[in-house]
Amino acid sequence: MITPYFLENFWGDKNNGFDVLYHNMKHGQISSKELSEFIRERATIEEAYSRSMTKLAKTASNCSQLGTFAPVWDVFKQSTEKLAACHMELVRKLQELIKEVQKYVEEQAKNHKKTKEEVASTLEAVQTIQSVSQALQKSKENYISKTLEQERMRKEGATQRDLDKAGLKVKKATETYKSYVEKYATAKTEFEQRMTETAQKFQGIEEEHVLRIQEIIHSYCQSVEETHIQIGEVQEEFVKNMENTSVESLIQKLAESKGTGKERPGNTDFVCGVFCVFLQNVPQLDEEGFCIRPENSFYSSSDSEDEDEPRKFHVQIKPVQTNNGTHQHKATIDELKASIGNITLSPTPAVRDASHQHTHHVNDLLSLDPFGPTSTGSSSSLPHSSVPPPNRPTTPLGTATIVPPPRPLSRPKLPAGKLTGINEAGRPFSPPKISNSSPPPAAPLAHAESSSSLSSNTSLSTSNTPTVGTSRGPSPVTLASQDALPIAVAFTESVNAYFKGADPSKCIVKITGDMTLSFPSGIIKIFTSSPSPAVLSFKLSNTSRLEQIVPNQQLLHSDSSQSDTNTKDFWLNMPALTAYLRKSSEQNPTASYYNVDILKYQVCSNGIQSTPLNLVVYWKCTPSTTDLRVDYRYNPEAMQPPAALTNVQVLVPVNGDVTNMQSLPNAIWNAEQSKSFWKVSDISDKSENEGSGSLRAKFELSDGPSIPATLAVQFFSEGSTLSGVDVELVGSGYRLSLNKKRFATGRYMADC
């Protein structure tokens, strides 16, 4: 049994032991709550780590599946997923433990309330003895004072009358003093009895409290220890798997999976001006190049021919046509993944080469048209007849299984005798429209200020460095340090998609984005003149829709321990930002604005539902003609908020030596490049058939049949994003003068 420490050590002259013990009991409840918060914070950290490991596993799965090293990525992926599961299991255990602590806190609160009622009499006894002690002390002092006064008067020879008055005062003081002595004795007895019981009760409560806390800590330690054991097992398994992955096994797997066959080419001889391969039952040729029928052959002879004369067949071997650049082979999904699936988000550097700023014309960040013409490599080209390859890097594409979009309710009728050959019946592109479960779209983007909106020149290409901009309108180059400084922001996103036939589960989608800040030139003087300018902080919302965020590490900081998955706080490194802006100003002192690439991100995609324009392409190829139909449907649920798709262009390569093309709507044929080109008016839910329609063409060929090729599409949209991510400035000192949003296509392709 524990020594009764509380009973022995909480008395004292002022009788304050009860108060100390009572508040110690209350502090126990505070400690329980703090322990709960500590465990909760540990669970948050473990959850964040688990999610990061899950993303890392996805990165491993998106790595190239080509080459000898490809199987090793599966080992990395499985091991990383298991580590993520270990930490998530710890999160689950800690969350259960938090529930247990919370339950104890509630029980503790009830017990403390009950204890408070039970020790109320002790509190009264404490208050009584404290008040009686004070009164006793005062009455004692009064008694001594009156007695000394009477004695002094007697020595000084005071009159009898004065002595009698003094005697009455002494008598009254004596009686008061005696009465408080008696009251104190009674209060002391009551206090000691109550305090003895209460001290033992308080010690019992503390003993139980400490035991419960120890049990909770033991469970915490056990959960962490079990996780460490599991992590060790996963690591041991990973090491064994890597040891078992020998060079020979990797080479063997590549040979088995990618091998093209074991039969080597046969021998050839030159015979009569014709190359002939020595295979079994190959007919012999005479000197004129005709086939001589062998004896007992299976060929039947007609009645009009001489049985004895050998029958001749003329053999002509037509050389294989060389690839002249117009023949394109249809890519498989794996090949497309290999070509566009290995590009990842790269960190954004903070400084741009000054030579780039002076050698290129800079346009306004928020008004640049990213679809200027680019060279196709041909000596001459038809204007606006080709879709330029996108400048924006893309990231690994992933697959998702989604129901296909609905086809148009009605289709434009073609003139009689035009563009036939593709059956209109049995078209699989016709399931009902489905609803998107994503949150409501964000409010439409609007200028916060019309007279001082900041401009910039960030294009839709992911240029990895900040840029310098010029202004179209009034330039706020003179700013007062006490004013809220204007900052402009631009969100620019790129959607990459590959549609395979009418099967939506084969649709591959990847969406990336950039965030750029624009600063007026006048802000540099304020930053450089202030020893510590206000820190620019902002909050990104709807970040739960982002799969990955890559901040500019030289300029941007964030709190990795944030628990809210739908928002993320950032703040800028003001000395680094000031240094960069000052350097940019020195390199281009006439610029009105300076743009800084702040961060890049990758958007969580949901297959075909994440594409703003759904596509299905149909080919019908014969030796003399090729019929083509491209169905498209506007998908407003992919955008936040829905916005029109502008500058829609479709480019389709067609080989087979096209001699004539009929199309609806009218397309442009580029004979040099063997490509047909459509430019479609803006597409939105306000368009005909709610943005659904078709492009059709019939091609006449001189050297068919055509080989179905991959078509490319590009479009652009202002005032909306596909992610719905938004920004809000935090704190004082700055104001958001403009919030610009837009997206465009990166690699947007479709196959039959």
- For residue 452, the tally of other CB atoms under 10 A from its CB is 17
Domains of the chain, CATH where assigned: 5-247 (1.20.1270.60), 485-498+509-604 (no CATH), 609-725+736-750 (2.60.40.1170)
* Separation between Cα atoms, residue 288 and residue 286, nearest integer Å: 5
Q: Is there a contact between 350 and 576 (Cβ–Cβ < 8 Å)?
A: yes
User: What pLDDT score was predicted for residue 249?
Assistant: 83
Quick: pLDDT tens for 389-399. 333 333 333 33
Task: State pTM to two decimals.
Answer: 0.45
Q: For residue 261, give the 3-state DSSP assignment.
A: coil
Q: Is there a contact between 631 and 408 (Cβ–Cβ < 8 Å)?
A: yes
pLDDT at 552 over 60: yes
Q: Which of 14-18, 58-62, 447-451, 613-617 has the lowest mean pLDDT?
A: 447-451
pLDDT band at 286 (very low <50, low <70, confident <90, very high): low
Pull the structure tokens for residue 642. 């829905």
Mean pLDDT for the chain? 76
Over residues 43-54, mean pLDDT: 92
Within 245-296, residue ranges assigned H as helices are 247-258
User: What pLDDT score was predicted for residue 723?
Assistant: 95
Q: Which of 457-461, 475-479, 629-633 has the lowest mean pLDDT?
A: 457-461
Q: Is there a contact between 173 and 143 (Cβ–Cβ < 8 Å)?
A: yes
- Radius of gyration over every alpha carbon of the chain, rounded to an integer in angstroms: 43
Find tokens 């080597």 and name the residue.
Answer: 264
Q: Which of 178-182, 200-204, 474-478, 649-653 has the lowest mean pLDDT?
A: 474-478
* Separation between Cα atoms, residue 33 and residue 22, nearest integer Å: 18
pLDDT band at 72 (very low <50, low <70, confident <90, very high): confident
Q: Which of 25-39, 47-61, 371-385 has the lowest mean pLDDT?
A: 371-385
Find tokens 């829905």 and name the residue.
Answer: 642
- For residue 186, the tally of other CB atoms under 10 A from its CB is 12
Helix (H) or strand (E) holding 41: helix 17-62
Indicate the DSSP class of residue 454: -
Task: Please report, for residues 279, 283, 301, the alpha-carbon distance to residue 286 in angstroms, rounded to integers and kept in the order given.
Answer: 18, 10, 19
pLDDT at 301 over 70: no
* Separation between Cα atoms, residue 282 and residue 300, nearest integer Å: 18
pLDDT band at 287 (very low <50, low <70, confident <90, very high): low
Task: Please report, for residues 35, 91, 100, 104, 218, the alpha-carbon distance to residue 96 in angstroms, rounded to integers and kept in the order given.
Answer: 14, 9, 6, 13, 14
pLDDT band at 562 (very low <50, low <70, confident <90, very high): confident
Residue 135 Cα to chain centre, angstroms: 73
Q: What angle do CA 116, 119, 124 make, to 5 degrees?
A: 115
* Separation between Cα atoms, residue 203 and residue 193, nearest integer Å: 16
Sign of CA dihedral 164, 166, 167, 173: positive
Indicate the DSSP class of residue 337: H
pLDDT band at 316 (very low <50, low <70, confident <90, very high): very low
* Separation between Cα atoms, residue 454 and residue 697, nearest integer Å: 46
Give the E-state strand segments of 159-307 in sequence order.
Answer: 268-271, 274-277, 284-285, 290-292
pLDDT at 270 over 60: no
Residue 749 neighbours by CB under 8 Å, 6+ apart: 336, 497, 498, 499, 710, 711, 712, 713
* Separation between Cα atoms, residue 430 and residue 404, nearest integer Å: 8
Quick: pLDDT tens for 75-94. 888 899 999 999 999 999 99
Quick: pLDDT tens for 334-380. 555 544 444 455 544 443 433 333 333 363 322 333 333 333 333 33
pLDDT at 297 over 70: no
Over residues 482-496, mean pLDDT: 91
pLDDT band at 532 (very low <50, low <70, confident <90, very high): confident
Pairing mode, if any, of strands 646-653 and 675-680?
A: antiparallel
Quick: pLDDT tens for 207-260. 899 999 999 999 999 999 999 999 999 998 888 888 887 888 888 888 877 778
Over residues 505-529, mean pLDDT: 93
Q: Which of 335-339, 570-574, 607-611, 705-709 has the lowest mean pLDDT?
A: 335-339
Peptide bond into 641 cis (omega under 30): yes
The size of the chain, in residues, is: 752
* Separation between Cα atoms, residue 593 and residue 571, nearest integer Å: 20
Peptide bond into 665 cis (omega under 30): yes
Our separate counts of H helices and E strands in the chain read 10, 24
pLDDT band at 457 (very low <50, low <70, confident <90, very high): very low
> What is the per-residue DSSP string for 610-675?
G-SEEEEEEEEE-SSEEEEEEEEEE-GGGSBS---BEEEEEEEE--S-EEEEEEES--EEETTTTE
User: What pLDDT score was predicted for residue 694?
Assistant: 95
Q: Which of 465-479, 495-509, 592-606 has the lowest mean pLDDT?
A: 465-479
Q: For residue 352, give the 3-state DSSP assignment.
A: coil
